[in-house]
Every structure is written in structure tokens, then in C-alpha cells.
Structure 1
Amino acid sequence: MKTVLITGANKSIGLETARQLLQQGHFVYLGSRNLEHGQQAVDRLKTEGLNQVEVLQIDVSDSDSVHAARAALGRKIESLDVLINNAGITGGMPQSALKASVEQYRMVFETNVIGVFRVTQAFIDLLQKSSEPRIVNVSSSQGSLTLAADPESQYYHHKGAVYQPSKSALNMYTIILAYELRDTPIKVNAVDPGFVATDFNNHRGTGTVQEAGTRIAKYALIGADGPTGQFFSEEYNPETGAVPW
């Protein structure tokens, strides 16, 4: 049984990913900024017969919260098998390159990029004690520079001057982290769950949380011969999942 920590998992894609990993027999620590909301999500899962789950209060934008979460988890387990950096925000729409505020950039990067730094660095020692550790950074095809510049791309006209750069930065962090860990068992990948209908995008998406959860869970459980340092979007490329940086 693998142990899994998912940030931002009290609703939507994070919650569905937790559900699917629980259904596969793993123990999930459901990360939630709000403890009450996280416990409500845990209670909901338990009503479905999925009992190997606990809430872990963690606000990825707050260093004290992340360190407290690491200490709390360390009292429960000696190693962590999977870290899914799922917590993220859009920063509100529309986002204009000429009109977006500096505060918007700071807020979004604090969660989507710096938050991933914080959590990964805080929990890396527990991951290093696992025999098959995996890190999944939940990204977006919107972070692809190649697709953003391609007029033929499906989402070419979907531009977000704050959100998209945050995912591009996350992708670069994924590359560098995977490089630094290349001689270890830890595999690190960026995964796009797809344009999913959730409150994250006012339910404008065309995909389902079930599809998104399946995509993320797949790369959380890759074997020893699986990829690392790669960017996957099965919505963009259903055959191989590979997406250009």
C-alpha cells in the first residue's frame, strides 16, 4: 500500500484523484488549506467505503503551515511514496498583460510556483525514504510556450497573462527537479489534467473530474521504467500524452 499526499485535495480534481487512488488500495493524506473543508471531504469519502484517508491541514502559500504539516505527517509515517502538487489558483479572469496587477502575479506565483517549491523541499526527505517515490506537478497545457505561440492550437485564444506564466515556471521547475534527482529512484513529471469543468474555471471546461483524476493517478503510479522530467497532456495528445514545452 502506497502513501500519498495530495495538496488542494478537498474538492474537484484533487478530491477525485484521492478517490481513485483510494479505490486502488492506497492510503491518502488529503491536503487542505481549510481543516473543516478537508474533514468534510474525508467524511464524504468514508461514506463511500474509502476509509484509508486522513486530512492534513496545509496552506502551500504559508511556510509555517507547510512546516507544521511536514512535522504532523512525520509523526504518522516514516516514508512517503507519492507527492501530488495539485493546489493552484487562477488569479481571476480576464488577465491582461497590460492591465494585470503586480499583486495578481504575486498571489498566483505564491501558490502555483513557490508553493510547489515549499512543499517539495519540505517533504523530500520522506520521499527519499520510499523505494519508488513519485512527484506529480499538476500543470496545464496552457503553460506550454510552444502551444501558446501556435495560432493553430486549440486554446490559442485562451490567454491568461498571470496563470499561464505560473504554469510555465512550474514546468521549468519540474525539468530542473527531475534533473537533480536523475540518479535517484524519484520520478518527477508535469501532468495536465485537461480543461475540466470545475469551479476553478466557472465550470466552462469540457472534460470531467473523473478523466482528470485518472490522468494524474496514472503518472503518480508509474513503474521503475516510467518517464521522468516529462510534460504530459492526454487531452492534447491522447496517444502518447506528450506535449511540447
Structure 2
Amino acid sequence: MGTVQAARGCTVWLGSRDLAAGLSAAAEIDGDVRVVELDVTKDVSVMAAAEEIGSGGRVDILINNAGIGGSRPAVEATTADDFADVLDVNLLGVVRVTHSLLPLLHNSVHPRIVNVSSGRGSFAINSDPERMESQLQGLVYPVSKTALNMLTYQYARALPNFHINAVDPGFTATALNNHTGTSTAAQSAQTIVRLALASPDGRTGLLFDATGTIDW
């Protein structure tokens, strides 16, 4: 994702909890890629990152990509405590980062926010017997992504001069699923990048996948 944006002339800020890991990833990307230490669960870390990024005066595109799956207990074994860490990253982390960067986004001529969601958070997809998601059970991760979808919709309503959308990147091979996904991270990132670089007349307040808009 950073590779495509950097190649198109964007200055890319790569947020990473582990600064060394972030620098290692940035070294593999051609273009202007800068690394900032960022833990989306910690207010102090988010504010410090926003201050460092703010040295450039504005942010044109924010991609909220941090996410965890949690422990995935059986439905009847799930307790309120099982939600805490997942919601802290998948939902509240998006709120922290977005809130901290909104002043810089307001300085952009065409501010865009892309929230990386999941088909598991879509009522329509979970209700479709042809979709893999309809066969899965679980509370924590799907609920966190459904909440993120509503957060996206409400931000879009409140900020009509922005383009704010959510993306279902598909079943992507990452550490979240022990690399069992059917598409690579680079393949799944294409839809995210397309929205991130959308034209000023693009649509807002919607959920997208590789085929286009999909129902919430």
C-alpha cells in the first residue's frame, strides 16, 4: 500500500508500534516514506505521532489499518472482558488517530479517510449463504468491525467536505489469520489505495470491496 502511494508522489507516514520494524519495512519501499512510532491504544503515543506528522502542515489521506483478532472464544464462552483489547484497537484506536489528525486533515484541499474493515462486520455479507462469512461464528471481531462501519458512516455524515469510506479487503493472508488468506496483502491493498487516491467527486460514507460498493 505504501509502495503504490509513494510511487505516485505521496509522502507516506508509516505508523509502527515497533520503530525498528517500521524502519525495516520502509527500507523496502521506494519513495518518500517516513516512520513514526505509533501505538493506537495509547493517547500519549497517538498525540506524539500527530505532532511529528504535523510538521508538514497537513494530512491529505488517513488510512486506519491497525487491527487485531483477539482470542476468539466460543460464543457461549465469550465474556465482556474478551472485547476490551479488540475494541481498543479496532474501534477506539481509529477514534484516537482520527481525532488527533483531524486538524491536519482540515488543512487539505481534498481530505480522505479510509478505514480498513472486514466482510465479517457486514450484516449483508453475513446474511448471504454464498459467502464464507455466513458460516463463521464469533462475537468479538465481527462486532468490532460492525462498530467500525457505523463509525465510518457517522464520520462521513458529520464531515461532508471529506471523503470517508470503509473497505473490506477480503480474506488476506496476514498474521491475523496465520497467513491462511486467499489473497496477498499487496492484492488486498489495491482497493484501499484506490479509495485513498480517489478523485474529489468520489462517493463517501460507503463500504467497498474489490468489486465496488457493497451493503453494510
Counterpart amino acid of residue 66 in structure 1: V
Structure 2 equivalent of residue 157 of structure 1:
135
Following superposition, the deviation at residue 208 of structure 1 comes to 1.6
Following superposition, the deviation at residue 199 of structure 1 comes to 1.6
Please point out which of 153, 175, 198 is paired with 1:222: 198
Q: Deviations over 1:162-216 (max 9, x none)?
A: 100000000000000000011x2x1100011110112221111111222111111
Structure 1 equivalent of residue 62 of structure 2:
83
Counterpart amino acid of residue 203 in structure 2: P
Matched, 1:197 2:173: yes
SS of structure 2 residue aligned to 1:155: helix
Structure 1 equivalent of residue 185 of structure 2:
209
Following superposition, the deviation at residue 143 of structure 1 comes to 0.5
Matched, 1:20 2:4: yes
Matched, 1:37 2:15: no
Distance 1:242 1:202 in 2: 28
Counterpart amino acid of residue 21 in structure 2: H
Following superposition, the deviation at residue 33 of structure 1 comes to 1.1
Distance 2:8 2:71 in 1: 35
Structure 2 equivalent of residue 176 of structure 1:
154
Distance 1:128 1:39 in 2: 28
Distance 1:85 1:126 in 2: 15
SS of structure 1 residue aligned to 2:75: coil
Distance 1:215 1:40 in 2: 25
Structure 1 equivalent of residue 86 of structure 2:
108
TM value normalised by structure 1: 0.85
Distance 2:4 2:127 in 1: 35
Structure 2 equivalent of residue 92 of structure 1:
71
Q: Aligned residue pairs: how many? A: 216
Structure 2 equivalent of residue 243 of structure 1:
214
Same amino acid, percent of matched pairs: 40
Please give the root-mean-square deviation of Cα atoms over the aligned residues, in Å.
1.3
Distance 2:171 2:201 in 1: 29
Matched, 1:129 2:107: yes
Q: Cα 1:159–1:73, aligned 2, differ >3 Å: closer, same or farther?
A: same
Counterpart amino acid of residue 22 in structure 2: G
- Check whether the contact 2:9–2:31 (CA below 8 A) recurs between aligned residues: no
Structure with the larger helix share? 2
- Check whether the contact 2:75–2:137 (CA below 8 A) recurs between aligned residues: no
Structure 1 segments unaligned to the other structure (5+ residues): 1-16
TM value normalised by structure 2: 0.95
SS of structure 2 residue aligned to 1:44: coil
Following superposition, the deviation at residue 20 of structure 1 comes to 1.5
Distance 2:7 2:79 in 1: 42
